[in-house]
Structure 1
């Protein structure tokens, strides 16, 4: 039996989770000479359920981390998001885009953190924080980690950063989870279909009433592979006996409906070759569902809710929040611990209004006819198309497109 290497018993910062947020945070800290230990519950490279789309904010973060060229050498580039409505209308929104499976992307980011000086150990799972005292106010001074083969191991650190993704287990153990249910759920698979290469070149997103207040996507990957999936926002909005529970929706049935209403999806499902299992995953969105810190510990990435509700995009914002956590720790090196936490929480609070705007834009998922209206107008108005491109580039307000004022403007004379 091969036992995993033991992480050192002490370090400056222990980062738990080596996805985009954790690896970005670990690299940023290690660049400045801090002793950083990065752990993950899986050996790398490993699969991760995701749409794999890299939109402009992800490109910007990858550039800051110094790995954009390495990522783009392996990724499938794209120049548009194809927005498709239930009535068959389509508009291609331009942007800086690419697709790279998370198995490859996350490994690139993890290796970049190691090159910067972070030490990586796997498989180690976060079991509980180490506390200097008792109760919720007790400072975190490290973490108890567990391996299925090597048992328990303690690492003491000046700071612990939780970048553990959408599954709330670690948040619950740390006493920071304020919502156990996810914001949304998704199902995706990889399908090989060389016949669609050159025919599906944009990141296609489809809204249709048969998708039950959700959406479907097809993203072209390198090598004739396609990432196809369906997502459901506000998946756990139903109340049963006072508890939030999942809507009465079957994601596999949604996928079958996607194949019926969108011809490329139907062709992939009927004639493509599935690569591996179809996998589902929760989403944590809108910077909600968790406290962002406690003494000695910060929460970042999707554990903090860094995914946009309307688009389901989370890779770029995960890296961005990971860098923000690192910057707060670096800036607060000579300050009281409470000042570091306040600085980090303030940076997330500054992001929150944009996340709220994406929540407003979720009306398109609730009312697919809005997508048909926007697509129809964007095909006749460069101004509307430019506003949609601004949403993709984060220079525009997604909520305004579906506000009462925004809808009214859609009926103004075309220009």
Structure 2
């Protein structure tokens, strides 16, 4: 993405609404607010078009969020449509779960979302968040930013949205971090392999003893590329408030995935790795950060918007951004208490869904559960519909792996 006209203009001294972070959450909020007539300044420490470590999968909640933003058609014009999630168990069994799915690298998706926010009227500047500005009562009234030339700049704002992702530095600086360690970690790379197009057609998710306590994936991306990676949820433990990483070596898990899963081995053998394998933390289950304080709200993965079971976070990141925007549009930035109350109520309404996905996360620790689900799904159209419902958020994922649910699966 070439330098936008916004970037050529000086950083303003004040704005009505300041959003820190131009990922899906920040750009979704910026677009909604700008469309509602709010003056929005969106800043990010990276120039537009930066890479983001992600699986790039757009599952139904992402499609719904994009439709609400008026961007689904534009995204799907660039994305690779996919019809199924391919669940592969440790014994090699497979079930293809239907869903409304697609893949678009985050570099392209985030650029499109940012452009859409700017088209709606939001301005963008490159700058790094250093600390909040506070009044005598402790209310956030703006931010101290580090400009690309190294200078510090203070900007005042009626409200600040923090959409800085899983890295806790900005959360800590803003006094919002409750857990410094991530919920999980992931490693991914891109492989160009036109000869594999049509052979890997689903969002393939692989559970195997070789990748315990995690999972591997291969997602077909546009233009003959594939997103391949491994993830581990619950990768860190908190001991007396101090985070400690478990014995997890992502590169070793990735190598084991490639060694034991034949399509991954062939993909890496015939394809060309584009760039390097890159790792990133995950923040899940809407935990690990305060959601708001006077003058500031935390949105997106900074608030823990990623699902622990699937590692999917794009749709929910946009959803949290839109929840914050809707609260601001409903009450105006002058009624801070009402804005924050509505936003937090929206997150609390989502929380039970995250807890169910956390229960379903036990599949990552006990891969044999996948074998059981796959075995029964081949015999039960009803179970396959329930698995599809998990993708569409119409079925309870926790029921699939509860003892009651397992008993029902075995005997239904």
Q: Which interval holds the TM-score relative to the shorter structure?
A: over 0.9
1:155-211 Cα offsets, whole Å, 9 max, x none, are 110000000000111100000000000000000000011111000000000001111
**In 2, Cα distance between equivalents of 1:6 and 1:406:** 59
1:48-63 map, 5 Å: 48-63=52-67
Contact 1:238 1:247 in 2 (8 A): no
**In 1, Cα distance between equivalents of 2:120 and 2:95:** 42
Structure 2 CA distance for partners of 1:125 and 1:351, relative to 1, 3 Å: same
Contact 1:129 1:144 in 2 (8 A): yes
* 3-state SS of 1:289 partner: coil
TM-score normalised by length of structure 1? 0.96
Using the TM superposition, give the Cα deviation of residue 284 of structure 1 relative to its aligned residue in structure 2, in angstroms.
0.2
Contact 1:4 1:150 in 2 (8 A): no
**In 1, Cα distance between equivalents of 2:199 and 2:379:** 24
Residue 361 (structure 2) aligns with: 362
Number of equivalenced pairs: 407
Structure 2 CA distance for partners of 1:258 and 1:238, relative to 1, 3 Å: farther
**In 2, Cα distance between equivalents of 1:166 and 1:243:** 17
Using the TM superposition, give the Cα deviation of residue 147 of structure 1 relative to its aligned residue in structure 2, in angstroms.
2.2
**In 2, Cα distance between equivalents of 1:276 and 1:367:** 33
Residue 215 (structure 1) aligns with: 215
1:9-408 map, 5 Å: 9-122=13-126, 124-133=127-136, 138-237=138-237, 239=239, 243-333=242-332, 336-408=335-407
**In 2, Cα distance between equivalents of 1:354 and 1:152:** 41
* 3-state SS of 1:185 partner: strand
* 3-state SS of 1:237 partner: strand
**In 2, Cα distance between equivalents of 1:34 and 1:246:** 42
1:121-168 Cα offsets, whole Å, 9 max, x none, are 11x0100000002xxx61000000102414111111000000000011
TM-score normalised by length of structure 2? 0.96
* 3-state SS of 1:201 partner: coil
Using the TM superposition, give the Cα deviation of residue 238 of structure 1 relative to its aligned residue in structure 2, in angstroms.
6.9
Using the TM superposition, give the Cα deviation of residue 4 of structure 1 relative to its aligned residue in structure 2, in angstroms.
6.6
**In 2, Cα distance between equivalents of 1:33 and 1:150:** 32
1:8-30 Cα offsets, whole Å, 9 max, x none, are 11111000100000000001000
**In 1, Cα distance between equivalents of 2:281 and 2:8:** 28
- Over the aligned positions, Cα root-mean-square deviation in angstroms equals 1.4
* 3-state SS of 2:395 partner: coil
Contact 1:82 1:202 in 2 (8 A): yes
Using the TM superposition, give the Cα deviation of residue 334 of structure 1 relative to its aligned residue in structure 2, in angstroms.
7.5
Using the TM superposition, give the Cα deviation of residue 332 of structure 1 relative to its aligned residue in structure 2, in angstroms.
1.6
1:342-385 Cα offsets, whole Å, 9 max, x none, are 11111100100000000000110010000010011011100110
Structure 2 CA distance for partners of 1:242 and 1:104, relative to 1, 3 Å: closer
* 3-state SS of 2:263 partner: helix
**In 2, Cα distance between equivalents of 1:335 and 1:163:** 21
Using the TM superposition, give the Cα deviation of residue 321 of structure 1 relative to its aligned residue in structure 2, in angstroms.
0.5
Unaligned runs of 5+ in 2: none
Structure 2 CA distance for partners of 1:287 and 1:81, relative to 1, 3 Å: same
Unaligned runs of 5+ in 1: none
Structure 2 CA distance for partners of 1:65 and 1:85, relative to 1, 3 Å: same
Using the TM superposition, give the Cα deviation of residue 212 of structure 1 relative to its aligned residue in structure 2, in angstroms.
1.8
Using the TM superposition, give the Cα deviation of residue 270 of structure 1 relative to its aligned residue in structure 2, in angstroms.
2.4
Of 2, 7, 10, which aligns to 1:6?
Answer: 10
Using the TM superposition, give the Cα deviation of residue 83 of structure 1 relative to its aligned residue in structure 2, in angstroms.
0.3
Structure 2 CA distance for partners of 1:296 and 1:75, relative to 1, 3 Å: same
**In 2, Cα distance between equivalents of 1:305 and 1:238:** 16
* 3-state SS of 2:236 partner: coil
1:196-247 Cα offsets, whole Å, 9 max, x none, are 10000000000011112100000000111000000000000275x8733111
* 3-state SS of 2:312 partner: coil
**In 2, Cα distance between equivalents of 1:299 and 1:129:** 13
